[in-house]
Amino acid sequence: MNGNYPPKPACGKNALGKDMSDAPPLNADQQELDKFSQLAHHWWDPSSEFKPLHDINPLRLEYIDSLAGLSAKRVLDVGCGGGILSESMAARGANVTGIDLGEKALKVAKLHLLESGQKVDYRLIAVEELARQEAQQFDVVTCMEMLEHVPDPASIVKACFDLVKPDGHVFFSTINRNAKAYLFAVIGAEYLLNMLPRGTHDYAKFIKPSELARHCREAGLAVTEVTGMSYNPLSKVYSLGNDTSVNYMLACRREA
């Protein structure tokens, strides 16, 4: 994995088919997009590489709903992938838009709506571009398990701020950067327990809570809560608590 942007096609258009002559490069790593595209058909298989997402989804859904009250809210799910969180928020009564740069993952997400009967507006668009189009249009913005996969996480945070309404909620989840996080999230999850494909994570892209909180403050968001998410390899159960040493969620508000 590297931090290079996707190469610009010779025609002068980006991966979304738009003219890039006057636009900044996409805040995405092409190798990351390719990696998840190859796995996209497994997204809704709870015994696949995406099992951890299925396992943690009830926890993150309850956490978001308890703080933001999803029913009847307009919600944006940034980096929605195959739609696991997007659909579950729609099932809570939210009007959900899910965005991603992975075309195959979005196709899987749209197909799954036919099975679930939920309604989600899925779009192939960068969050920075959507922020230019729909500033302050969402009551809640979520960005889960995405920041550790992009070249410029601060740009994502700023776009989330731009998209949320005054007094709205923004939620992030990512992985801390320390020896324990490397041991658990990389060595343990990818090599010892085989919970994730090898190469899923790049330790250099992990983000300390203090760093993410700084990005939020610089963007204009007020951090209201930091919550840890832990995994017990013996019971194979995830739980929320005060331990932010590996996985954590950060809740923010855009002040009115």
Q: pLDDT tens across 39-62, in order? A: 778 899 999 888 989 999 999 999
The radius of gyration computed from the CA coordinates of the chain, to the nearest angstrom, equals 17
Quick one: tokens of 7? 């190469």
What are the structural domains, with CATH classification, of the chain? 30-253 (3.40.50.150)
Which of 47, 49, 85, 44 minimizes the C-alpha distance to 64? 85
Residue 223 has pLDDT above 80, yes or no: yes
Least confident of 68-72, 118-122, 194-198, 201-205: 194-198
Q: pLDDT tens across 124-178, in order? A: 999 999 999 999 999 999 999 999 999 999 999 999 999 999 999 999 999 999 9
**What whole-number distance in Å separates Cα of residue 100 and Cα of residue 126?**
7
Residue 28 has pLDDT above 60, yes or no: yes
- Name, in order, each residue with C-beta under 8 angstroms of 138's C-beta and a sequence gap of 6 or more: 74, 75, 76, 97, 163, 164, 165, 168
pLDDT mean across residues, the chain:
88
**164 bridge partner residues:** 138
pTM: 0.86
Which of 135, 142, 137 minimizes the C-alpha distance to 172? 142
